[in-house]
Amino acid sequence: MEVIFFVANLSNLRGMENQAILQYDYLKRDLYNIKLWTLSLPKTKKNNYIQIVYTFLKPKIVFSFLFIFLNTIFIRKKTIVHIHGLSEYALPFLLVKAFNKNIYVILKISNSGKKSSFKKIKNKFPLLGDFIIKLFVLSINKWICINRQIKKETLNHGVPNNKLCYLPNGVELIYKEKKRKNKINNLIIWAGSLVDHKNIKFALEIIEKLPRSYKLLVYGSGPLYNEVLSYIHLKGLKENVILKGWVTKQKLLLEMQHSTIYLSTSKAEGISNALLEAISNGLIPVCANIPANQEVLGKNYKFLQDDFDVNKWVYSIKNLKNEYYKQSNYLEKKIKKYDINNIINQILKIYQD
């Protein structure tokens, strides 16, 4: 059996792409015949991946169709194409599948609600959106949904239940090995793209109301960077908010090991990789009570926030130290479900179906 991992964009690594790379790296230990195809390469690990369309070849969709067709039409043994993300770039594989019965397509969906992948297709292709989704529904062999809300939305679009697999994101469990004693401090980590739905401005409002002994480390960048920078200068928060930009995963995890609180102000998530990594590194999350966070933390988790009342968030953060050890033990049990080794075993079972 051969496997082709397909991730359209690796040049700007976000949650879905980082999870795909993590799964790919672990699967390579068990599957010799696995390749990762992409339209754009990441800044690191370039030798591990195959760029199927170069940036100067436009339009990309046409050349991706051509490359995929020519490189898969003659495959003569079962090959699983594991596509990460519902987009128009999955269509070439469906075309090949119609001609070559050795191709078996698995599609993973990572977004729901306001960021729904189905909505994106309809918005991008107003006239053909419904037809494209119908084509996916009829042609995909298996669908992987990373949370229950995505599974519900996928069922509502006509995908049969027997084609659906619920499988969350995974994380490397380093909790027992890396967790420090007496780790409690006033360092808060926020990680993600500086975009509207991540709600970074609300995180700045929180730090503004906290005592000056608290520091917020912001990992990420994006279109709101200049607005964030202006707010920091306007409110005199230069000593309390440090913009770190994008850093390597290794550096982020190391920084997490020296902090206490993980702050997520996001209004929408699939299954947040940063949340899983924070828990694995012993941080206590304070985050919005959205379905994806409930799924990881449990509906009754102490520090889920029901609304965006800044005073309630500030109160929770200031009182977190009193709950640190109790919540730390609770989270250590919760995170075991997301052990990447368990997730990989389940992926392999899906491949063997």
Instruction: Give yes or no: residues 161 and 217 share one domain.
Output: no
Q: Please report, for the domain that includes residue 20, its CATH number.
A: 3.40.50.2000
**Which of the two residues, 180 and 288, has the higher pLDDT score?**
288
Does residue 347 sit within a domain? Answer: no
Instruction: Give yes or no: residues 145 and 11 share one domain.
Output: yes
Does residue 180 sit within a domain? Answer: yes
Instruction: Give yes or no: residues 16 and 43 share one domain.
Output: yes
Residue 43 has pLDDT above 80, yes or no: no
Pairing state of beta strands 241-245 and 215-219?
A: parallel
Report the C-alpha gap between 162 and 59 in whole angstroms. Answer: 36
Confidence of residue 250 (pLDDT cuts 50, 70, 90): confident
Domain boundary among 138, 167, 196: 167
Residue 194 tokens read as 């500086």
Give 197-235 pLDDT, tens digit per residue: 899 999 999 999 999 999 999 999 899 999 999 999 999
Instruction: Give yes or no: residues 187 and 296 share one domain.
Output: yes
Give 12-21 pLDDT, tens digit per residue: 667 888 899 9
Instruction: Give yes or no: residues 124 and 186 share one domain.
Output: no
Instruction: Give yes or no: residues 228 and 100 share one domain.
Output: no
Report the C-alpha gap between 182 and 123 in whole angstroms. Answer: 50
Which residues are bridge partners to 79 per DSSP? 2, 103
Give 260-303 pLDDT, tens digit per residue: 999 999 998 888 999 999 999 999 999 999 999 999 999 999 99
Strand, helix or coil for residue 29: coil
Domain boundary among 119, 144, 167: 167
Give 106-132 pLDDT, tens digit per residue: 999 988 777 788 998 999 899 999 999
Exposure b/e, 161-200, CB count within 10 A at least 16 = b: eeebbebbbbbbbebeeeeeeebbebbbbbbbbbeeebbb
Instruction: Give yes or no: residues 150 and 247 share one domain.
Output: no
Residue 276 tokens read as 């899983």
Cβ burial, residue 306 (10 Å; 0-12/13-18/19+): exposed
Report which residue type is found at 19: Q
Average pLDDT over the chain reads 90
Instruction: Give yes or no: residues 228 and 298 share one domain.
Output: yes
Does residue 45 sit within a domain? Answer: yes
Confidence of residue 176 (pLDDT cuts 50, 70, 90): very low
Instruction: Give yes or no: residues 321 and 213 share one domain.
Output: yes
Instruction: Give yes or no: residues 199 and 257 share one domain.
Output: yes
Does residue 125 sit within a domain? Answer: yes
- Please give the pLDDT value at position 55: 67
Domain boundary among 167, 200, 226: 167
Residue 353 tokens read as 């179906």
Give 291-349 pLDDT, tens digit per residue: 999 999 999 999 999 999 999 999 999 999 899 989 999 999 999 999 999 999 999 99
Instruction: Give yes or no: residues 270 and 332 share one domain.
Output: yes
- Please give the pLDDT value at position 47: 63
Give CA separation, 324 vs 62, 218, 285, 317, 321, in Å.
54, 22, 10, 11, 5
Does residue 73 sit within a domain? Answer: yes
Domain region containing 331: 175-338
Does residue 351 sit within a domain? Answer: no
State the average pLDDT over residues 182-204: 90
Instruction: Give yes or no: residues 162 and 200 share one domain.
Output: no
Does residue 248 sit within a domain? Answer: yes
Query: Total structural domains in the chain?
Result: 2
Residue 258 tokens read as 């020296």
